Amino acid sequence: MSSGSLPLAGALAVAWGAVYLVTQVVTEPALGVGTTVLAGVGLTLLLTLAYPSALRGPRSTRSGQRPPGRRGVASRSRHTIAAVGRPMPLRSGLTAEAAMRTARLLRPLLGCDAVAITDREGVLAFVGPGSDHHNVGDPPQPRTSARVLAGAGTLVVRSRRTLGCAAPGCPLRTAVVAPLAIGKRIIGTLTVYRVDDNPPSRDVVEGMAGILSLHLELAELDRERKLAVDAKLGALRAQINPHFLFNTLNTIASKARTDPEEARQLLLRLSDFFRYAVRQDGHFAEFGQEYFFVRTYLSLEQARYGDRLRVRYDVDPRVLTAHVPVLAIQPLVENAVKHGLANKVEGGTVTLKARVDPLTRTTSIRVSDDGVGMPPDLLKKITSEAVSTPEGIGLRNVSERLDTLFGERYHFDIRSKEGEGTSVDLRIPLG
Amino acid sequence: MRWRAARRSRSIRDGVIPAGYDSLDEYDTAAEVDAAFRTLRRGALGYFAVFLVAVGGVPGLTLTLNWWSEGQLIGGMSPSFVMAAFGFYIFFWLLGLAAASLSTAVEARMLGGQETDPAEREGGA
């Protein structure tokens, strides 16, 4: 039974005991069997449904932590500055669609007549009077947006002539143009227009442009993080130890004379190993596929180490279709072989244990060995993010990818005792 | 290292089978076959538990719930009779089907290689 189900089983036993006591012992006369069973089943359902929520803990109280505001402001919450932070479309980057949605959001928020957002190439969105001739795709206005893009800072335009619109019937009179920047790099502008002679508040527009810039910066960070994860996966693929290849080829060469059939099988397995490592595109794969990769790797290592390397798989049938991060288990197994058992004369056993807990919706994977283990200082060094050791490269790569893929929703734990072995536990959300 | 053949449904093609092997097609290590066996056993035990609960539930209901023996369903048959006459057969059929599907899925995922193009496996691109 998985560890997550054990407390639930206990709770259910206690609940049924309580139902029996209340309906059969305490109550006089005792209630009927049907009522007792009904109460028991109801309680069982309640506990079973509530259990995963109880394990996840209380819901985030973010909405309750909002700073108290005046009633009037709260009632207009759709049009407050804070509203910009919630569904900000620019969080996905400066695209035409995101810019249009942002402009529509900002127009009532800023109490202005028209809003335009441009990138370095041209107008991405224009909302308000004048949209009949201020078209999406037009180049930035040379007197306003182009100057801001060139680094002139925020511009306040107080006359229609300076605005630079050639259309004779353009109703727009004044405007404030503020830069949208990622760091020091200006990537666009936010222009807020009015149809009267009072230009919008420069501070408000600058502040709003600052918020938008922050969102754009976050979008850029997201993009960079995704690229970093891709790069880490690529690094892991490329990191297949050349020594592993040399050793396996040497093993195959030595078997070619004495046992050609086994040599052929090893070659096929080696090709399977590299085919899988190279062909994984996404970030997740079925556990069954990762299991295939791991057992391919271990069978090649077993050919080299012989009876010194023993393997034990303990796999729950339900885990086979669960999705796990691609190339995440093999590095753990490789570490167990290379650093746990290779230096132990009598060899040892590598155990891969995989379970699914449907109640907590988690997949648990444990890779353990009964090898030489690690002294506490080395374990500390390996688990420390700041220090790079040859033993820790694979682990850190896996750990960093898990960080990016799951945030804080995973558990990665390494335990080791010198002379007794090492155990790596990985618990991830069931996918 | 010792290789053992997994007894798969594929027929053995022409060729000489070396001593100690069951098939030329594909080979799984002893640990892999052992793991598949343990996983299948785990699934079988789960289904057996369900079987026991269902079979044991009938006399249990007879002892605790009068309606189970005295109530009348279609054609005046009691729920207990309906269960014994039809329900069990349907239940066993569904249970067997589920167990067989699980076993096939487990075997496909835990033994043998991954499906690849034979031409590619023999050295193509």
For B4, name the nearest residue in chain A, comparing CA atoms only: A262
Nearest to B33 by CA among A280, A31, A315: A315
CB contact under 8 A, A315 and B65: no
For residue A11, the enclosing domain spans 5-54
Residues of A in contact with B40 (CB under 8 A): 317
By CB atoms closer than 10 A (0-12, 13-18, 19+), residue A429 is middle
Assess whether A128 and A211 both reside in one domain: yes
Write the residue in A295, A303, A310 that is nearest to B32 by C-beta: A295
Distance from CA of B86 to the nearest CA of A (A): 24
Name the token pair of B103.
Answer: 């076993």
A vs B, Cβ pairs < 8 A, gives: 75
Integer Cα distance of B41 and B33 in angstroms: 12
What's the rounded mean pLDDT across residues B95-120? 82
* pLDDT for res A6: 77
pLDDT at A385: 58
Among the partner-chain residues A275, A302, A317, the one whose CB lies closest to the CB of B106 is A317
Tally of structural domains, chain A: 3
Q: How far is CA A308 from CA A245, A331, A345, A346, A347, in A?
A: 19, 20, 8, 6, 4
Whether the bond into A29 is cis, omega within 30 of 0: yes
> Which residue of B64, B102, B114 is in closest CB contact with A272?
B114
A-chain residues near B64 (CB < 8 A): 33, 37
Name the 3-class secondary structure at A350.
strand
Same domain, A263 and A389: yes
Query: ipTM for the complex?
Result: 0.72
Please give the single-letter amino acid code of residue A6: L
In a domain, A146, yes or no: yes
Note whether A178 and A121 are same-domain residues. yes
A170/A251 same-domain check: no
Residue B93 or A400, more confident: B93
d(C-alpha A395, C-alpha A387), whole Å = 12
A65, A113, A108, A81: which is closest to A212 by C-alpha? A81
Residues of A within 8 A of B6 (CB-CB) are: none
Q: pLDDT band at B50, cuts 50/70/90?
A: very high
Inter-axis angle of helices A96-110 and A202-238, to 10 degrees? 150
Residue B31 to residue A316, Cβ atoms within 8 A: no
Nearest Cα residue in chain B from A288: B109
Question: Block means of pLDDT (10 residues each) for chain A, length 431 residues?
Answer: 70 90 83 84 86 59 37 40 59 84 87 89 88 85 84 84 81 90 88 88 89 88 82 70 82 88 87 84 88 92 90 92 90 90 89 89 93 86 63 74 84 90 92 75
Nearest CA in chain B to A300: B1
Interface membership of A2 toward B (CB under 8 Å): no
Q: Which one, of A266, A240, A242, A241, lies nearest residue A252 by Cα? A: A266
Same domain for A100 and A21? no
**Contacts with A110 (C-beta within 8 Å, 6 or more apart), sequence order:** A192, A200, A204, A205, A208
Of B34, B42, B116, the CB nearest to A316: B42
Are A40 and A83 part of one and the same domain?
no
Residues A182 and A321 grouped into a single domain: no
In a domain, A43, yes or no: yes
d(CA A104, CA A119): 17
The residue among A356, A276, A178, A386 whose CA lies nearest residue B113 is A276
A311 interfacial to chain B (CB closer than 8 Å): yes
A392 belongs to a structural domain: yes
Question: Given CB atoms, is A315 within the 8 Å cutoff of chain B?
Answer: yes
As given in the structure block, the two tokens for residue A169 are: 């019937």
Do A218 and A244 fall into the same domain? no
Q: Is A264 part of the contact surface with chain B (CB cutoff 8 Å)? A: no
List chain A residues with CB under 8 Å of B1. 262, 299, 302-303, 306
Cβ-based contacts of B105 with chain A (< 8 Å): 317, 320-321
Which chain B residues touch A315 with a CB distance below 8 Å? 35, 38-39, 110
Are A355 and A363 within 8 A, CB to CB?
A: yes
Position B90 confidence tier, pLDDT thresholds 50, 70, 90? very high
Q: Are residues A86 and A34 in the same domain?
A: no
Residue ranges of domains in chain B: 31-113
**Do A425 and A294 reside in the same domain of the chain?**
yes
Q: Which residue of B has its CA nearest to A255?
A: B1
Name the minimum distance, in Å, from the CA of A309 to any CA of chain B.
10
Q: Which of A33, A303, A315 sits opposite B1 (nearest CB)?
A: A303
Smallest Cα distance from B109 to chain A, Å: 5
Q: Can you give the pLDDT at residue A323?
A: 92
Q: Does the distance separating the beta carbons of A311 and B31 come in below 8 Å?
A: yes
Partner B contacted by A310 (CB < 8 A): yes
Identify whether A228 is part of a domain: no
Specify whether A217 is located in the same domain as A243: no
Q: What is the pTM of this model?
A: 0.65
* Residue A154, in any domain of the structure: yes
Q: What is the pLDDT of residue A76?
A: 40
- From the list B3, B109, B113, which residue is nearest A272 (CB)? B113
Considering the domain architecture, whether residues A210 and A256 belong to the same structural domain is answered as: no
Is residue A406 assigned to a domain?
yes
Higher pLDDT, A404 or B97: B97
Q: Cβ B65–A33 below 8 Å, yes or no? A: yes
Residue A123 domain-assigned (yes or no): yes
Whether A231 is covered by a domain: the verdict is no
